[in-house]
């Protein structure tokens, strides 16, 4: 049975539409840790079965989020190994808690490193275009600003959930020169941009980037305008499944974000589609900024091969 804290966490995340894969991952790990500490299981076998049910449910939060999947896989590897060696419930609870906290720290550390490495790619006075909410992108821009490089930033609204407005507010609060633009104005402002800087929900083995819907269009427009495109992503966002040919699922969200249910009900034979993400070809990405350094998309396969794995389905 799925623990009530996990159920509540998933509901909260769906209602709030937490910004970025990193934020979702932190929330999911915390929910899993709390559920493990509050377990009513009476045997290690029962605890492990309950943990797997909670993991399966948490994976439904955001199907395309590889840091979420990798974080849950990371915890399950440690727990499964301990269970195989006969660990008792209390030991398994401690392992879940410690492993979840450990992954959280690694993720935060990776963002700090990405900020340092990414800021080196920004020159003084650069005009940067960005799309959607990314903890790594925000960290890079803040670090460049701290280094007195005075970047100027075009931020797309990122419809239909408008998380670009949150990005604009956050950057402006740091004193960064920000201009909020509508999504369809990208081709108009790309000529005034020096670089495009995007985050990633996932990175495939071939270097393709899964990010908020509209990213692929922006990257293609930038390439035609000869504007370099950088993706910022920790190695925890690289998908090991894609090395075996698995496709990253593209989540479809509630169409009411685009058009309210009451309006749709008045229009017979009327449909609304709301895919949350799209896939940007590696040919449209110049570099991927990770905590280990800057790599071309074609080198993603090397990082994917290093990911430790265990079945979490």
* pLDDT tens track for 123-152: 999 999 999 999 999 999 999 999 999 999
**From residue 218, how far is each of 131, 155, 268 by CA, in Å?**
8, 12, 33
Q: Is the pTM of this model over 0.85?
A: yes
Q: What is the CA radius of gyration of the chain?
A: 20
Specify whether 139 is located in the same domain as 286.
yes
CB 202 within 8 A of CB 68: no
Domain final position from 86, 110, 134:
110
Confidence (pLDDT) at 81? 92
**Environment class of residue 267 by beta-carbon count within 10 Å: exposed (0-12), middle (13-18) or buried (19+)?**
exposed
CA distance 313 to 308: 15
Taking the C-alpha atoms of residue 252 and residue 277, their distance in angstroms, rounded to an integer, is 8
- Do 198 and 282 lie in one domain? The reply is yes
Do 86 and 167 lie in one domain? The reply is: no
d(CA 276, CA 133): 13
From the list 158, 295, 287, 300, the residue with the least C-alpha distance to 237 is: 300
Cβ–Cβ under 8 Å, residues 159 and 180: no
Question: Contact 86/107 with Cβ under 8 angstroms?
Answer: no
Q: How many helices (H) and strands (E) does the chain have?
A: 11, 10
User: Is the bond preceding 67 in cis, omega lying within 30 degrees of 0?
Assistant: no
| pLDDT for res 41 | 87
Residues in the chain, pLDDT under 50: 15, 310-313
- Are residues 93 and 167 both part of a single domain? no
Residues 23 and 121 placed together within one structural domain of the fold: no
Domain check: are 144 and 26 in the same one?
Answer: no
Q: Which residues of 99-137 are buried (b: 16+ CB within 10 A; e: fewer)?
A: bbeebbebbeebbebbbebbbebbeeebbbbbbbbbbbb
Q: Is residue 311 part of a domain?
A: no
Domain boundary among 82, 110, 138: 110
Structure tokens at 199: 């985050």
Distances (CA, A) of 176 to 117, 128, 225, 231: 19, 11, 25, 20
Residue 200, in any domain of the structure:
yes
pLDDT of residue 64: 66
Note whether 212 and 185 are same-domain residues.
yes
59 and 156, same structural domain? Answer: no
Do 135 and 38 belong to one domain? no
Any bridge partners for residue 155, and if so which?
Answer: 130, 180
- Decide which of 110, 128, 154 is a domain's last residue: 110
Domain that holds residue 45: 4-110
Give the three-state DSSP class for 43: coil
Residues 86 and 156 in one domain: no
Taking the mean position of all CA atoms in its chain, how far away is CA 2? 24
pLDDT score for 310: 44
Within a domain: residue 201?
A: yes
Residue 312 lies in a domain: no
Burial class (CB in 10 A: 0-12, 13-18, 19+), 161: buried
pLDDT of residue 170: 96
Instruction: At 68, list the tokens.
Output: 């979420």
CATH of the domain at 32: 1.20.120.420
In a domain, 158, yes or no: yes
Q: Are residues 174 and 266 in the same domain?
A: yes
In a domain, 94, yes or no: yes
Please indicate, yes or no, whether residues 73 and 200 belong to a single structural domain of this protein: no
For the chain, the domain total comes to 2
The pLDDT value recorded for residue 66 is: 83
3-state secondary structure of 193: coil
User: Do the domain assignments include residue 52?
Assistant: yes
CA–CA separation, 111 and 135 (whole Å): 7
For residue 313, being part of any structural domain is answered with no
């Amino acid at each position: 049975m799925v623990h009530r804290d996990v159920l509540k966490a998933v509901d909260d995340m769906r209602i709030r539409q937490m910004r970025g894969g990193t934020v979702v991952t932190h929330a999911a790990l915390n929910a899993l840790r709390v559920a493990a500490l509050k377990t009513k299981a009476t045997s290690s076998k029962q605890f492990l079965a309950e943990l797997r049910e909670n993991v399966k449910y948490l994976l439904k939060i955001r199907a395309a989020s590889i840091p979420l999947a990798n974080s849950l896989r990371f915890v399950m590897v440690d727990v499964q190994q301990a269970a195989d060696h006969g660990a008792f419930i209390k030991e398994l609870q401690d392992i879940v808690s410690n492993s979840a906290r450990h992954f959280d720290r690694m993720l935060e550390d990776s963002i700090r490193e990405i900020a340092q490495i990414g800021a080196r790619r920004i020159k003084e006075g650069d005009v940067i275009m960005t799309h959607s909410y990314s903890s790594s992108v925000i960290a890079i821009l803040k670090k460049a600003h701290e280094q007195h490089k005075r970047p100027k930033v075009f931020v797309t609204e990122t419809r239909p959930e408008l998380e670009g407005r949150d990005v604009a507010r956050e950057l402006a609060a740091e004193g960064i020169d920000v201009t909020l633009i509508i999504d369809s104005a990208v081709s108009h402002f790309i000529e005034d941009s020096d670089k495009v800087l995007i985050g990633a929900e996932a990175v495939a083995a071939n270097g393709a980037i899964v990010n908020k819907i509209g990213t692929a269009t922006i990257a293609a427009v930038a390439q035609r305008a000869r504007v370099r495109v950088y993706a910022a992503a920790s190695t925890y966002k690289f998908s090991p499944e894609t090395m075996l040919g698995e496709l990253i699922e593209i989540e479809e969200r509630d169409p009411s974000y685009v058009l309210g249910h009451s309006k749709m009900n008045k229009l017979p034979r009327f449909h609304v589609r709301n895919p949350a993400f799209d896939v940007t070809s590696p040919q449209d990405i110049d570099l991927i900024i990770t905590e280990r350094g800057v790599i071309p998309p074609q080198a993603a396969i090397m990082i994917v091969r290093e990911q430790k794995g265990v079945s979490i389905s």
